[in-house]
Chains A and B, each alone.
Chain A
Amino acid sequence: MALLEINDLHASVGEREILRGIDLTVNAGEVHAIMGPNGSGKSTLAGVLAGRELYHVTSGSVLYDGKDLLAMAPEDRAREGIFLAFQYPVEIPGVSNMYFLKAALNTIRKNKNLPELDAMDFLNLVREKMKLMEMEQALLNRPVNTGFSGGEKKRNEIFQMAVLEPKLAILDETDSGLDIDALRTVAGGVNALRSPERSMIVVTHYQRLLNYIVPDFVHVLSEGRIVKSGGKELALQLEESGYAGLGIVDEEEAVGKR
C-alpha cells in the first residue's frame, strides 16, 4: 500500500484555484522532489497536505496510510507522522523552543502509545540531534524562531524533524537561504533520517540540494498540475535547459505576455 496517494486534487485560495488536478503516489521510503516555477503551487500542495485552513480543497482525495487525510485536523496529521518543514518558519515570541518541542514530541509519543519523555531524557535526545544539525544549544532556550537568522530557522526545522521522526516529511525549500556549508549540514541531517519507513517530499528550485539528497523521483509542477515526472536526471535536465526547455514559462512572465 502506498503511504500517500493524491488523486485529482484541486485546491483554492478564496476564489482562485491554485492546484488544478494533482496526482501523486509516494511509497514508503521514497524521496520525491517537486520543482517548478514561482507561484506554480508547490507550497500550496505542501500546505494542503499539512492541513492549512487557508486552502480549500474543492475536489479530489488524499489517502495517507489508507486514511482520509483531508478529514484530519492538522495536529492529528502531525501525530500520525506528517511533518512540514516550512518555507517561511513562523516566529513565535514568548514560547520557548524547548517547551514547544517537548510538548510536540510528547503528544506525538502519546499517540504512538509511548511514555512521555521526562526533562532529562528529552534533553539528552535534543543534545544528540543538535549535534547532528550543528546547532547552538542557546537557540533552544530562545522563543521559537524569534530573531533567528534565515539559516538558523531552516536548521531549526530539520532539527525538529530529527526530534519528531515523522513518517512523511515535506520539506518546502529548506535549501533556500542556506550558504553552502549550512546546506551540507542540513542535507546531512536529512540524509541521516532517510530510512525505508520514512518518505519525503522535497520542494526545491535547485539541483544543488538534490546532489546531496538524491531523489527517487522528480516532478515538475506548473500552474497547479504535475506536467512532467521522471528520475533524478530530470532535475539535471532542468538545471541545464530551465523550465522553458520543457515548454513551461514562469507564471509571472506568462501573465506579462497575456
Chain B
Amino acid sequence: MTAVAEQTGAWLAEFTAQKPAEPWLQELRNAAFQRFAELGFPTTKNEEWRFTNVAPIARTTFRVSAAGFAARFRGAEKIEAGGKCFDAARLAAEPNAFVALNAAFTDRPCVLRVPRGAVVEEPIEITYEIAAAGDRPAAVHPRILIVVEANAQCAIVERYSGEGRYLTNAVTEIVAGEGAVVDHYRVQQESREAYHISTLRATLGRSANFSSHSIALGGALVRNDANATLSEGSDATLNGLYIVNGKQHIDNHTEIDHAKPHGTSHEVYKGILDGQATAVFNGRIIVRKDAQKTDSKQTNKNLVLSDEAVIDTKPELQILADDVRCTHGATIGQLDEEALFYLQSRGIGKGEARSLLTYAFAQDILDRIKVPALKDQLEKALTEKLHEHGK
C-alpha cells in the first residue's frame, strides 16, 4: 500500500459504511472522496503546509460523526436540499484535501439564504459543540453555505467547541451578492486536544462589503484558511486574533483575490504566543491583471511572551496590475518593558501588568466586533485565556 492509500484506507472504511441522510448527496460525496483519495493528506513538502504537519491527523483512525449543530437564523431561510448548491465540477479540481474530505462526508449541510434586500437584525448563529467520544476520536465535517442576495445585510457567527480529542474539519462558503453587507465571525474554542481544520471561502459580488473576524483560542493543532474573492468595487476585511500557549500550533493562511478593479481590502491578524506554542501567518494577496485601482493593506502583529514560542509570518503578494496600492507589514515583539514598569510603579502587580498589556494588544481586534453580546463573551474568554498565560 502506498502512504496515501494507507492514510485514506481508514477513511474509506468509514466512507463505505455511511450513507448520507439525503440520498441525492451520494454522487457528490463519491466525487469528493475520490478527489480526497487522489490528493491524500498534505505533507510539509507541500509549500502550503510547510510549517504545519498534519501527520497526527493522518495517523489517527477517527469515527466520523454527524456534524450536528444548533442554528438561529431569524430573517434568513433554510434551503432544503441545499447540497444541490455544491459544485461537483469544482470539487473534482479541489486543491485542498481537507475540503474534499469534508465534502465526502457532508451529511446535513447548513445552507441558508438571506433574501434580496433583507436586513437581518439578529446575527445568524451556527454552533458546533463536539461531545466527548467513546472508543475512537470523533471526526466531524461541518459544512455551511450562506447565500446573501443582492443588497441584503447580515451578521454570521460560527462557534466551535468540544471536549477531548477529536477532529473538526469545517468548510464555510459565503456568497455575498451585489451590494450585500456581510459581517462574519468565527469563534474557535475547541478543546486543548482537538484538531481543527477550517476553510472559509467568500465570494463577493460587485460593491459587496464583507468582513470576517477569526478568533482562535483553542485546539492542539489548528489550520485556518480564509479566502475572499472580490469583484469590482467590493470591499473585504479579514481580521484575526490567535492566542496560543502550551504546545498549541496554529496556522492561518489567508488569500485575498482582487479579481476585478476598484476593490479594497484590509487585513489585520494579531497573535499572542506563550509557552512552546507555534504559529504561522501566511497572507497572500493576488491582484489580477484587470484589477486596477486596487487598494490593499495587510498587517500581521505578534506578541511573543516566551522564549520558546515561534512564529513564522510571511506576506505573499502576487501583483499583476500596475495601478494599485498594496502595503503589508509584519511585526514580532515582546511586551514593552517601559510600559510594564510604568504600571508596576503605580502598584499594579507584575502578573496583572503583563495581562493588562497583553489584553491591550488584542483590544483593537475586539473593538471591531459589532455584535455586542459576542464582544462581551469574547472579552471574558480572552481574560480567561490570558490568565492561563500568567500561570
* Contact of B344 with A by CB under 8 A: yes
B344→A95 contact, CB < 8 A: no
Q: Is the pair A95, B357 in contact by a Cβ cutoff of 8 Å?
A: yes
Query: What interface size band does chain A fall in?
Result: 20 to 34
Contact flag A78-B345 (CB < 8 Å), given A73-B350, A94-B359, A94-B361: yes
In the bound assembly, the distance between CA atoms of A104 and B349 in angstroms comes to: 9
A93 interfacial by beta-carbon distance below 8 Å: yes
Given A73-B350, A75-B350, check contact A92 B357 (CB 8 Å).
yes
CB-CB contacts of B335-365 with A at 8 A, as 1s and 0s? 0111101111111111011001101110110
Q: Which residues of B are found within 8 Å of A103, using beta-carbon distances?
A: 348, 352, 356
Q: Judging by beta carbons under 8 Å apart, are A75 and B342 in contact? A: no
CA distance A75 to B348 in the complex (A): 6
Is residue A164 within 8 Å, beta carbon to beta carbon, of the partner chain?
yes
Give 11 pairs: A residue, B residue, CB < 8 Å, sorted on A.
A51-B344, A73-B350, A74-B341, A84-B345, A89-B342, A92-B336, A92-B357, A93-B363, A94-B361, A104-B346, A107-B347
Residues of B within 8 A of A111 (CB): 347
With A90-B339, A92-B360, A94-B363 as known contacts, state yes or no: A51 contacts B350, CB within 8 Å: no
Neighbouring B residues of A160 by C-beta, 8 Å: 346
Question: In whole Å, how far is A15's beta carbon from the nearest beta carbon of chain B?
Answer: 19
Q: Is A219 an interface residue (CB 8 A)?
A: no
Question: In the bound complex, how far is the Cα of B344 from the Cα of A54, in angstroms?
Answer: 14
When each residue 47-91 of chain A gets 1 if its CB lies under 8 Å from chain B and 0 otherwise, what string results?
A: 000111110000000000000000001110111000110100111
Q: Which residues from A are CB-within-8-Å of B344?
A: 51, 73-75, 78
Contacts of A164 in B (CB 8 A): 346-347
Please provide the chain B residues from 295 to 350 with a CB less than 8 Å away from any CB of chain A in the complex. Answer: 336-339, 341-350
Number of B positions contacting A (CB below 8 A): 23
Whether a CB of chain B sits under 8 angstroms from the CB of A126 is no
Chain B nearest CB from A95 CB (Å) reads: 5
Q: Is the CB of A92 within 8 A of B345?
A: no
Closest to A47 in B: B341
Chain B interface SS verdict (over half) = helix
A108 to B347, CA, bound (A): 6
Given the interface contacts A93-B360, A94-B361, A95-B356, does A75 sit within 8 Å of B338 by beta carbon? no
Residues of B with C-beta under 8 A to A73 = 344, 350
Interface centre among A77, A95, A101 (most CB of B within 10 A): A95
Contact of B339 among A50, A74, A78, A92 (CB under 8 A): A92
- In the complex, which residues of chain A have a beta carbon less than 8 angstroms from the beta carbon of B345? 50-51, 74-75, 77-78, 83-84, 86
Q: Which residues of A contact B341 (CB under 8 A)?
A: 50-53, 74, 90
Q: Are B347 and A90 in contact (CB under 8 A)?
A: no
- Nearest-CB residue, chain B, relative to A91: B339
Shortest Cβ distance from B353 into A: residue: A75
A84-B346 Cα distance, complex, nearest whole Å: 8
**3 closest Cβ pairs, A-B complex:** A94-B360, A78-B347, A104-B346
In the assembled complex, the CB of B275 is this many whole angstroms from the nearest CB of chain A, namely 23
Task: Point out the residue from A53, A90, A104 that lies within 8 Å of B348, measured CB to CB.
Answer: A104
Within 8 A of A (CB), among B359-387: 359-361, 363-364
Which residues of chain B have C-beta atoms less than 8 A from A75's C-beta? 344-345, 347-350, 353
CA distance A101 to B356 in the complex (A): 13
Measured in the bound complex, the distance between the Cα atoms of B339 and A75 in whole Å is 13
A-chain residues with CB within 8 Å of residue B348 when the two chains form the complex: 75, 100, 103-104, 107
Which B residues are CB-close (under 8 A) to A77? 345
Q: Cα distance A223–B343 when bound, in Å?
A: 29
Q: How far is the CA of A120 from the CA of B355 in the complex (A)?
A: 25
Give the chain A neighbours of B357 by CB distance below 8 A. 92, 94-95
Expressed in whole angstroms, the Cα–Cα distance for A50 and B343 within the complex equals 12
Chain B residue contacts of A74, Cβ below 8 A: 341, 344-345
Bound complex: CA of A111 vs CA of B347, how far in Å? 10
Judging by beta carbons under 8 Å apart, are A95 and B346 in contact? no
Known: A74-B344, A103-B352. 10 other contacts (CB 8 A): A75-B344, A77-B345, A78-B344, A86-B345, A90-B341, A92-B339, A94-B361, A94-B364, A100-B343, A104-B347
What are the interface flags for B141-180 relative to A under an 8 Å C-beta threshold, 1 for contact and 0 otherwise?
0000000000000000000000000000000000000000
Question: In the assembled complex, how far is the CB of residue B318 from the closest CB belonging to chain A, in whole angstroms?
Answer: 33
